[in-house]
Structure 1
Amino acid sequence: MAGVPVKFGTILSFCFALYAIYYRKNDIGDVRLSPVKEHLLFLEAENRVGVGNDQPKVALGYGACHDLFVNATSLLDHRELKGSPEHFNELATKDEFLKSFAYFFKHGAAAERFMSNSELYDELIKQALKLSDTRWTIGGNAPLMAKRFYIEGWNVLFAAKMSKKLKKYIPKDIQIVGADENEEVRDDVHMILEYKADEEFGVLKAPRANRYIIHNDENNPLLSSLEKFDEHLPGFSPNLLVISGLQMMDNYPFKTGDGKDLRAERLDLVKKQILTQPTSTLAHFEMASYVDLELLKHLTTKILPFVDSVGMNEQELTNLYSVLEYGEVSVVADSNPRVATALDQMRKTFMLIRNQNKQYQSTRQLTRIHVHTLAYQAIMTVKNSNWKRTEAAAAKASLTAHRYVCNKQEIELDKTKLLLDDSFSTTTDNDNNSRVFFEPTKPVSCWDEEVGGERVDICVAPVLICTEAQLTAGAGDNISAAGLVLQVEK
């Protein structure tokens, strides 16, 4: 049966022989591409969002910003890099910035860092604006996910303090709450330093396309739209609540003269906001790039025990697991992990958070994890939970990854490649020889198993990787939202 793990043996050699004959690359390209594309599109077409009275509703928090996109190697001069690449939690000097960028560039890893030096940040913005290919757009997890939900047919409410200028990037049918009427808002600006696969920065070469984000926010770290969001949630009555943007608190200098932990207080209000929603409203937490251990520990006690779902990329999965299991930050991880490695981390993370559900006597239990990587989408859902159509959701997320990065709705096979092998292990456990054979005519592999005493469904979908990347920042937000789109039913 397609997508079901099988044991090693003579069938293994036979299957490998068949794949070598029928699914090898020919002179034109990978012959798996066309059947993979057709079946992913079929799954998407067969599973659509409800309309009219069945239209689902999503509420998202918090924050928004102006994103300034710039080619990283055009802005930065590798000759100014003194010494070896190095990781810093926050950036105060040009030297720290260059070393930090180089550190993540050589790994092809996404990163987001707070720059405490406002003068340096403003100077970098001025330099970036002199480049011909620099462009402005809206940024922030909540607005990008909000736009994706809206495009896919959802009714959307999201929380952010935004200027009138920034609101022009948002479809008028999306309800925005956060600022008082006629309040003058100064938008935060994020600089998105993008680079392509194999791009060079001195002696360093990027193993994959990605982005490095810096910011000097004043508004978003305080979750300044939270109270207004609270006022509107009861009347909106969402089917799904999405918590995102909390990484803006990472290494932010919260100034308090009375000894209070303002960040902890704001996160307690987020927790309260989740807990005041009926359990029929599913709650999703969108992970991001975090390095502040104190903040991460807050998340593991104030947020994660109280949500139904978590979404993240491969770097964020490794970091979350490391914090939950060892109380340590993992700054960078394999940018293209084996499926077995990611699945094992998903299983362990699932069990660790489920233990926290019990420890904190949560009225919710984690029932869904979505991990998106360059090569594949992996979604785990608890059987008989409120999450539906896991196979179609994995397919939808895969298609969205290609469309967003290529910045084009149509999928062109000559701008596409597959990195997923003809078969993959379902675990790195040496005592378990289960493998899944990738069938191009039925590319989303799904099976059920027991994890921590729960029966779960796991689906892995190959990504039709865009070989001519136009956009990288915001890809994860669009992919995560697309994965949720088909899994919630009103």
Structure 2
Amino acid sequence: MAGAPVKLGSILSFCIVLYAVFYRKDNFGDVRLSPVKQHLLDLERENKVGAGVNQPRVALGYGACHDLFVNATSLLNAKDLKGSPEHFNEISSKEEFLKSFTYFFKHGAAAERFMSNSKLYDELVEESLKLPDSRWAIGGNAPLMAKRFYIEGWKVLLGAKMSNKLKKLIPNDIQIVGSEDTEVRDDVHMILEYKTDETFGPYKSPRANRYIMHNDENNPLLTSLEMLGEHLPKFNPNLLVISGLQMMDNFPFKQDGRDLRAERLDLVKKQILSQPLNTLSHFEMASYVDLELLLHLTTKILPYVDSVGMNEQELSNLNSVLEHGEVIVVADSNPRVATALDQLRKTFQLIRQKNKEHGSKRKLTRIHVHTLAYQAILTVKGSEWKRTKAAAAKASLTAHRYVCNSQNIELDKCKLLLDDSFSTTTEDNNNSRVFFEPTKPVACWDEVLDNDEVEICVAPVLICTEAQLTAGAGDNISAAGLVLQVEK
């Protein structure tokens, strides 16, 4: 639905008609599903990625790993949990691991933690490999986003140190740089997955999600950074994606009074600044709990990028760090649209402030927030970002396809959580609402923020009710949101 949000008082009767026509259920479920699916597919079909000389080019860093997927409740025994669920910044014992996992499980919240106990970590990997449904896959933000860009038709340069065995899981046409050492020992990430309404002792998960644990050696050091930098001038990307920095979270960097982490992040900043202004830069947020690292990001990374992508947990956390200097460990796993939009606006303005404070030649012109129920993309009008409405639709479709692990969208595996209307802000004096029309499911409107006119688009997600994959969903959704927004 294009145009400004509609005044509530003037359209009450229309709302009643909308509710009667579209919000009723029939024998096959929510009657909104079919028109929403059709119109999202139409938007995707009408908007193609450039080909030939117009094929866009993306460079991505940093890192890669082997993901070991395991059913969380098969690996862990709730009877071993002693005491209440509890949050820890890093994990050093089995007791802390169980408490930390349960803390996020009961909220249905995604989390990623560093385990400092290498012996325990190796034992858990061994136990996981004995389970019949455990499986290996390529992991890491950069490789997963790289594969999505490649699938959608982009030319891709990936900065990642990986073994030849791991490289075989990447399409041949993706150019990989980052290591000349053929004896690389790949980092392993454990992906503990669980489904909606699954139980762990007395706790029940409100949504399907995953808890990621790692004991990395390569990724926290961004070992591919320099080699990616060497290849950037010749590759000449249209887009540079910065990701994987959460691997630095709670990693023991400081030695002999030297802050190696700050030094490596300064080099990331230098790499972004080395790119011409017409090369757009995107930072992919993740699950961070280390306040010092987050504060580094607010001075060394965020002031110099054009775009930021994140989920609802990461949005709350980033907003809190920027506004109050405090970490939020867990947030609402399915926030109201109005709540997320308010946080999105505030975060946009706070990062814009950082642009000015640091004298950056770049200004933030795009934020993409992906949640279980909807996609929200903000872009500055007149900026280099194009086709925001189609990008929101593409991200929504990718969310369903990836989680269901199928290109086909079957209505009996879909549900909508978005109501028949939503408020655009939580402010008390607000009397504007957007009405969700199944035949025009992506709602877009204009606002003025930080003296710039911006466009905000919200697309409903056809939520996959039979989740096959959870880890990597955010990377695929974020990349899909970007693929249509950059045009040569």
TM-score by length of 2: 0.99
> Which amino acid is the alignment partner of residue 194 of structure 1?
E
CA displacement at 1:2 relative to structure 2: 5.0
Distance 1:89 1:466 in 2: 31
> Which amino acid is the alignment partner of residue 217 of structure 1?
D
1:387 to 379, 385, 388: 385
CA displacement at 1:6 relative to structure 2: 1.3
Give the match's secondary structure for 1:107. coil
In structure 2, the partner of 1:216 is 215
In structure 1, the partner of 2:72 is 72
Distance 1:344 1:236 in 2: 38
In structure 1, the partner of 2:135 is 135
Does residue 186 of the first structure (1) align with residue 168 of the second (2)?
no
Distance 1:41 1:119 in 2: 49
Distance 1:378 1:313 in 2: 10
Distance 2:191 2:400 in 1: 20
1:251-400 to structure 2, matched below 5 A, reads 251-257=250-256, 259-400=257-398
> Which amino acid is the alignment partner of residue 393 of structure 2?
A
In structure 2, the partner of 1:147 is 147
Distance 2:101 2:216 in 1: 19
Give the match's secondary structure for 1:74. helix
Distance 1:148 1:393 in 2: 14
> Which amino acid is the alignment partner of residue 230 of structure 1?
G
2:482 to 481, 484, 490: 484
Distance 1:356 1:21 in 2: 47
Give the match's secondary structure for 2:191. strand
Give the match's secondary structure for 1:456. strand
> Which amino acid is the alignment partner of residue 249 of structure 2?
D
CA displacement at 1:432 relative to structure 2: 1.3
CA displacement at 1:13 relative to structure 2: 4.1
In structure 2, the partner of 1:441 is 439
- Give per-residue Cα distances to partners, 1:265-324, cap 9 Å, x unaligned: 000000000001000000000000000000000000000000000000000000000000
TM-score by length of 1: 0.99
Distance 1:430 1:185 in 2: 57
Distance 2:141 2:105 in 1: 22
For the Cα contact (< 8 Å) 1:64–1:138, is it kept in 2? Answer: yes
Number of equivalent positions: 488
- Give per-residue Cα distances to partners, 1:379-400, cap 9 Å, x unaligned: 0000000000000000000000
2:405 to 403, 407, 423: 407
Does residue 453 of the first structure (1) align with residue 432 of the second (2)?
no
Distance 2:16 2:244 in 1: 45
CA displacement at 1:25 relative to structure 2: 1.4
> Which amino acid is the alignment partner of residue 443 of structure 1?
P
- Give per-residue Cα distances to partners, 1:410-460, cap 9 Å, x unaligned: 000000000000000000011111100000001000000111221100000
> Which amino acid is the alignment partner of residue 224 of structure 2?
S
> Which amino acid is the alignment partner of residue 234 of structure 2?
G
Distance 1:12 1:142 in 2: 47
In structure 2, the partner of 1:468 is 466
1:42-191 to structure 2, matched below 5 A, reads 42-180=42-180, 182-191=181-190
For the Cα contact (< 8 Å) 2:22–2:438, is it kept in 1? Answer: no
CA displacement at 1:481 relative to structure 2: 0.1
Give the match's secondary structure for 2:227. helix
> Which amino acid is the alignment partner of residue 163 of structure 1?
S
- Give per-residue Cα distances to partners, 1:160-196, cap 9 Å, x unaligned: 100000001000000000002x441000000000000
Does residue 416 of the first structure (1) align with residue 420 of the second (2)?
no
CA displacement at 1:21 relative to structure 2: 3.5
For the Cα contact (< 8 Å) 2:161–2:223, is it kept in 1? Answer: yes
Distance 1:22 1:461, change over 3 A: closer
In structure 1, the partner of 2:245 is 246
For the Cα contact (< 8 Å) 2:399–2:477, is it kept in 1? Answer: yes
In structure 1, the partner of 2:25 is 25
CA displacement at 1:255 relative to structure 2: 4.6
CA displacement at 1:22 relative to structure 2: 3.6
CA displacement at 1:76 relative to structure 2: 0.2
Give the match's secondary structure for 1:468. coil
Unaligned runs of 5+ in 2: none
Give the match's secondary structure for 1:284. strand
Distance 2:387 2:18 in 1: 30
> Which amino acid is the alignment partner of residue 132 of structure 1?
P
Unaligned runs of 5+ in 1: none
> Which amino acid is the alignment partner of residue 57 of structure 2?
K
> Which amino acid is the alignment partner of residue 424 of structure 1?
F
Distance 2:467 2:281 in 1: 32
Give the match's secondary structure for 1:83. coil
> Which amino acid is the alignment partner of residue 419 of structure 1?
L
Distance 1:24 1:4 in 2: 27
- Give per-residue Cα distances to partners, 1:33-70, cap 9 Å, x unaligned: 00000000000000000111000000000000000000
Distance 2:14 2:413 in 1: 32
Distance 2:305 2:267 in 1: 14
Distance 1:21 1:46, change over 3 A: closer
CA displacement at 1:10 relative to structure 2: 4.9
For the Cα contact (< 8 Å) 1:63–1:223, is it kept in 2? Answer: yes
For the Cα contact (< 8 Å) 2:3–2:446, is it kept in 1? Answer: no
Give the match's secondary structure for 1:82. coil
